[in-house]
Structure 1
């Protein structure tokens, strides 16, 4: 069967349209993978007004619910790269993705602008997959 809907659980971790107008990092909500075997992060851009801005991506993980023990995820535990998940001013209305295959329960995504002086509209979703109990609820709770 080709059903993906009943096997995923999307969570908004950076609400759509979060706009940063400087170089302040945008830090996502913490993702709890309890009950799921995988997670993929989808980053979304809207209008990126500054003509020389770049946006770097960092994924952290840890065992503490508040991520007080957060460390950068080693490249070997990523599907894709943080560099490929990053973007520039030229990437209006695009999507990027980054997968995590590590064993830590909690993850957090940070998008750090450089050279940004105008509104940059961002958003991100964590898609939890391989649920211990399927089907997943719809709408997600």
Structure 2
């Protein structure tokens, strides 16, 4: 069957239209993977106004619900790379993705601008997949 919708659960982790005007890191909400075997983060860019800006991406994981034990995810546990998930001001209206295959329950995404002095519109969604119970709810809870 070709039904992907019933086997994923999207969660907004950086609200659409988040628009930092400096180099402050944008830290996502924490994703709880309980009941799902996989997670992929999708970063969506809007207008990135500062021509010199770059945006680095980092993924952390841990077992504590508040990620007080957070550590950067080793490259071996990523699907794709943090470098490929990063972007520049030339990437208006693009999507980037980064997957996680580790065994920790909680994950958090951080996007860190450099050289950014104008509004940089972006957002991110965590797509939880391989549910223990399918179909997943629609609309997602």
**TM-score bracket relative to the smaller structure:** over 0.9
What is the TM-score normalised by the length of structure 2? 1.00
Q: CA deviation at 1:3?
A: 0.3
Q: CA deviation at 1:114?
A: 0.3
Q: CA deviation at 1:38?
A: 0.2
Partner residue of 1:132? 132
How many Å separate the matches in 1 of 2:32 and 2:140?
Answer: 14
Tell me, yes or no, if structure 1 residue 55 matches structure 2 residue 58.
no
What is the TM-score normalised by the length of structure 1? 1.00
Give unmatched runs, 5+ long, in structure 1: none
How many Å separate the matches in 1 of 2:105 and 2:11?
Answer: 15
Q: CA deviation at 1:128?
A: 0.2
How many Å separate the matches in 2 of 1:50 and 1:10?
Answer: 30
CA shift digits 1:32-82 (9 cap, x unpaired): 000000000000000000010000000000000000000000000000000
Tell me, yes or no, if structure 1 residue 38 matches structure 2 residue 38.
yes
SS in 1 for 2:108: strand
How many Å separate the matches in 1 of 2:56 and 2:21?
Answer: 15
Tell me, yes or no, if structure 1 residue 70 matches structure 2 residue 41.
no
Partner residue of 2:111? 111
Partner residue of 2:20? 20
How many Å separate the matches in 2 of 1:72 and 1:58?
Answer: 7
Give unmatched runs, 5+ long, in structure 2: none
Q: Stretches of 4+ moved more than 4 A in 1? A: none
* Matched length: 141
The CA RMSD measured in Å over matched residues stands at: 0.2
Tell me, yes or no, if structure 1 residue 99 matches structure 2 residue 99.
yes
How many Å separate the matches in 1 of 2:132 and 2:2?
Answer: 19
How many Å separate the matches in 1 of 2:75 and 2:120?
Answer: 27
